[in-house]
Amino acid sequence: MPTWPILSIFFAIARHQSFSKAAVELGVSASTLSHAIKGFEARLGVRLLNRTTKSVTLTAAGESLASAVSEPVAAIDGAIEQLNQFRDSPAGHIRLNVAVEAATLLLAPVLPVFAERYPDIELDIVASNRIVDVTEARFDAGIRYGGTVPEDMVAQRLSADVRWVVAASPEYLARFGEPRHPHDLQQHRCVSNRLGNNPHL
């Protein structure tokens, strides 16, 4: 058994000076606790508890162990208890790296609702079409175009497929001609949007 669970058992027994009362607190049988403590004592090579039919007391070694680790164990218990706030009422700081269009089309409409529902969560949103490794850059999550998501990343679809089109005014087409092939756009005056780190997109 790992050290932390057996220490919890040891302190419960020491606190109640009873296997049966400690068993009620921990939700297990007294025989399970007795077996666990015997195994722990065998591993340490020392007796921690004096057992009689009427009481359970600490040996000198047991008192030494309790004195040495009681504060660290209490600190760990407190830290674990604090984690419950994240389960009961989400709180903390979330860093998102999202495509510029996603910030406008997907996030902006839901941010007011999110802020109202989770007031204790602070969002840090970086909108950029430059693709970064969200893990390496210490982001918690990212929003990407489907074809740019690395295969080893866990992904969830957030919208229907996005269609990109080329648009021009009638005056522009009359002056410069109508492109017949995507390559023709290289000769036109385009306002383009670069996707990711590809210099050609």
CATH number of 87-143: 3.40.190.10
What value does the mean pLDDT take over residues 178-191?
89
- Rounded to 10°, the helix 3-16/30-44 angle is 120
What value does the mean pLDDT take over residues 48-70?
88
**Which pLDDT does position 197 carry in this prediction?**
56
pLDDT band, very low/low/confident/very high, at 196 (cuts 50, 70, 90): low
Instruction: Give the residue carrying structure tokens 């077996």.
Output: 35
**Which pLDDT does position 177 carry in this prediction?**
92
pTM of the predicted model over 0.75: no
Find all residues with CB under 8 Å of 23, minimum gap 6, and list them: 29, 30, 32, 33
**Which pLDDT does position 3 carry in this prediction?**
62
Instruction: Give the residue carrying structure tokens 């208890």.
Output: 81
Q: How much of the chain exceeds pLDDT 70, in percent? A: 92
**Which pLDDT does position 195 carry in this prediction?**
63
What value does the mean pLDDT take over residues 4-21?
88
Residue 2 has pLDDT above 80, yes or no: no
Are the CB atoms for 36 and 9 separated by under 8 Å?
yes
The verdict on domain 4-83 having CATH code 1.10.3720.10 is no
Alpha-carbon distances of 24 from 9, 28, 30, 54, 66, rounded to whole Å: 11, 7, 8, 17, 21
Q: CA-to-CA distance for 54 and 45, rounded, in angstroms?
A: 25
Long-range Cβ contacts of 104-110 (<8 Å, 24+ apart): 105/159, 106/143, 106/158, 106/159, 107/143
- Picking from 46, 45, 56, the residue whose alpha carbon sits closest to that of residue 20 is 56
Q: Where are the domains of the chain?
A: 4-83, 87-143
Write the pLDDT tens digit of every residue in 74-92. 788 788 777 776 666 778 8
